[in-house]
Structure 1
Amino acid sequence: MPGSSALPASPARPGRHIALLALPDAVVSTLAGIYDVMNAPVLLNAQNLPPFNIEIVGESVGPIELASGVPIQVQRSIDTLDATDIVIVPSVLLRESGWEKDRYPRLVDWLQRMHAGGAVLCSACSGIFLLAETGLFDGKDATVHFGYAQEFAAIYPAVTVHPERVLVISGQHEELVTSGASMTWHDMALYLIARYVGATDAHEVARMFALQWHQDGLTPYITFKGKSDHGDAEIQSAQHWLSTHFSMANPVEEMIKRSKLAERTFKRRFTTATGLAPIAYVQRLRIEDAKRRLERTDASADEISWRVGYEDPAFFRRLFKRTTGLAPGAYRKRFQIPEFARS
């Protein structure tokens, strides 16, 4: 197992050692949630011993104020931790200025040394921004919050990122573990428990905390936003018009007429600018509108199909599932706003 040769960081406590990294950009909810779940009482074995020895580590011992302004106590300095079995970087909050590289050189160096010693490196959500600085993910697959995917790809082009995936396990020894958007740290924690303790224990922890595996992936959660910063004014105008006319019959033909461009020229420029062919772009807008109607109304799928521009409900259902990963009924069950919360 990766990390099996690691020296125990706290000899007085048995179990596989987990270093849960605290840094000023960290999100308190993720860090505290991981700490509690990995310390779940249900994980105690017959000898009443925990399978994990989890410590909050950082650049120095003592209180540290996290991104939300909430202080948390760092239990151990990285300077006193020469080896560990598992490192977990929690979610970090990206400011308007984005991720600032080279801000934590000591942490990056320490992460590289832990990996060289056999540690499994894990990130929750945006924690991959720090892990990626090690270079260990170059040429490998990872996931990140879909809201940060574009920025991550720009900063770390050597990493293949899959924002639609919940959990990605990479590396020659499966020692690089990343979880996707926000609460998918649940999946990462359950995965680690299943991997090192057992599937039954992971199931019991899931039951205890009412956690669920995100088995449908993250595609249903992703909101489509057409690319508009491409600099093509003609296509931007067409997109603006389409945003309120996508449900009409033959919207692509109408866009082309309004643009006064040749059909082939318009389609080529539209695809280059937005990354989608005009008809695919229309479909994404229609499905996005259908999602909102499923979430906020009780209209039938057939009625919604008609309202977003499809006369054939069967085609609409197939397209909806292909786009979101869920059938309309399943999507409504998952995401519909409860009646008591509707205004």
Structure 2
Amino acid sequence: MTTHSATQVAILAVPETTASTLYGMFDLFVAAGRDWELLMHGRPGASLLRPLIVSRDGRGFRTGNGAWIQPDASLADCPAPTAICIPDLLVVPGAALEGHYDPELAWLLACHGRGTLLAGACTGSLLLAETGLLAGQDATTHWAYCDALARQHPEVCVHAHRALVVSGEGGRLIMAGGGTTWIDLALFLVARLVGVDEAMHLARIFLIDWHHEGQQPYATLTAARQVEDALISDTQVWVAQHYDTHSPVAGMVRCAGLTERSFKRRFKAATGMTPMDYVHTLRLEEAKQILESSDAPIEAVAEEVGYADPSFFRRLFARRVGLTPRQYRRRFRGLRLTLQ
């Protein structure tokens, strides 16, 4: 049961909120202090956190996925929370949020000014960026939104590879990356607000495995997508079919019909990457697919995607992905086989 002395955690709900993250956080928070006692001693303990779903006007609504959200309070009626969580938002990467969440942003700023801790899960971090509180701070969000966040808020230092980031004065701005890293965020908050032991209890109860590898295995999937410069776009199409050749950048230069210097400058301006970095990105993405779907030796994988030196391939893969090729295969091949 929940007690009056429990620490209040507000969960902000907007129409773009996904219900799974919102109610997943709610369930995990209310379990703190309660469920371990129930399992170990046969009687529920007192919940040490009091989650409260808060929306602009306190009225129920359906999310974009069709789930019904019934808030507990409006922004105006919400008692001062110790922490506020912002679940992920179902929005298009790069969507303009200005003007859509003014009441929520004003509330977040007012609460933070009174000492409240703010936590954004996945794309919920986009709202934190809109408050201006992330200026000059480290941040993260879902890997598919990191580039857009960096473009829209160049004053924010976005870390696409990190699953959890703690920023701001007193560490009162906390962000988690994509997908189920909201669980990492929730556990971190439990450890911060209640204690590490209780966070460990919840990890055991819910069989939670911390996302040690972060988002880096996925973060390059959206790197340097661009369609504005048709000539550069054509070279991207060409190299997608010829990245395994001996000199792919030279082939891109020939395809573009420019001098090498002009091409490299124009490619960097259009994509934010050097041509060779782009080639590495394509090669490593293909290498991931091979590692997930076959038992081919690492040396053979390296050669298939265009690397004559397997040692260089291993070092580059580990630096870019955050896992060695062998670690990546061990972690992700089983999942692919299960889903097939």
| TM, length-normalised to structure 1 | 0.88
1:220 aligns with 2:217: yes
2: CA distance between counterparts of 1:142 and 1:325?
A: 18
2: CA distance between counterparts of 1:209 and 1:228?
A: 38
1: CA distance between counterparts of 2:105 and 2:128?
A: 7
- Among 263, 267, 292, the residue aligned to 1:266: 263
Structure 2 residue runs without a partner (length 5+): none
Note if contact 2:35-2:45 (Cα within 8 Å) is conserved in structure 1: no
CA-to-aligned-CA distance 1:71-92 (integer Å, 9 cap, x gap): 1211122222241101111111
Q: CA deviation at 1:97?
A: 8.3
2: CA distance between counterparts of 1:298 and 1:323?
A: 22
Corresponding residue for residue 19 of structure 1: 10
Query: Which has the larger displacement, 35-44 or 108-117?
Result: 35-44
CA-to-aligned-CA distance 1:2-38 (integer Å, 9 cap, x gap): xxxxxxxxx9622111011122111101001101111
1: CA distance between counterparts of 2:218 and 2:314?
A: 18
2: CA distance between counterparts of 1:77 and 1:114?
A: 14
Query: Which has the larger displacement, 36-45 or 100-109?
Result: 36-45
- Among 305, 310, 318, the residue aligned to 2:307: 310
Residue 299 of structure 2 aligns to which amino acid in structure 1?
Answer: D
* Helix, strand or coil at the partner of 1:106: helix
2: CA distance between counterparts of 1:87 and 1:104?
A: 16
* Helix, strand or coil at the partner of 1:32: helix
Q: CA deviation at 1:237?
A: 2.4
Structure with more of its chain in helix, by fraction? 2
- Among 309, 312, 337, the residue aligned to 1:339: 337
- Relative distance call for 1:230 and 1:300 in structure 2 (3 A) is same
1:245 aligns with 2:245: no
- Relative distance call for 1:59 and 1:234 in structure 2 (3 A) is closer
CA-to-aligned-CA distance 1:112-140 (integer Å, 9 cap, x gap): 22112211011111112223332222222
* Helix, strand or coil at the partner of 2:115: coil
Structure 1 residue runs without a partner (length 5+): 1-10
1:165 aligns with 2:156: no
Q: CA deviation at 1:230?
A: 6.1
- Relative distance call for 1:113 and 1:267 in structure 2 (3 A) is closer
Q: CA deviation at 1:323?
A: 1.2
Q: How does 1:27-176 map to 2 (within 5 A)?
A: 27-40=18-31, 41-42=34-35, 48-95=45-92, 98-176=95-173
- Relative distance call for 1:228 and 1:19 in structure 2 (3 A) is closer
Q: How does 1:181-220 map to 2 (within 5 A)?
A: 181-220=178-217
Q: CA deviation at 1:338?
A: 4.2
Note if contact 2:13-2:54 (Cα within 8 Å) is conserved in structure 1: yes
1: CA distance between counterparts of 2:206 and 2:179?
A: 17
Q: CA deviation at 1:149?
A: 2.1
* Helix, strand or coil at the partner of 1:15: strand
* Helix, strand or coil at the partner of 1:133: helix
1: CA distance between counterparts of 2:93 and 2:144?
A: 13
Q: Over aligned residue pairs, what C-alpha RMSD do you find?
A: 2.4
Query: Which has the larger displacement, 157-166 or 46-55?
Result: 46-55
2: CA distance between counterparts of 1:150 and 1:280?
A: 16
Note if contact 1:14-1:50 (Cα within 8 Å) is conserved in structure 2: no
2: CA distance between counterparts of 1:54 and 1:226?
A: 37
Note if contact 1:14-1:49 (Cα within 8 Å) is conserved in structure 2: no
2: CA distance between counterparts of 1:138 and 1:43?
A: 40
Work out the percentage of aligned pairs sharing the same amino acid: 37
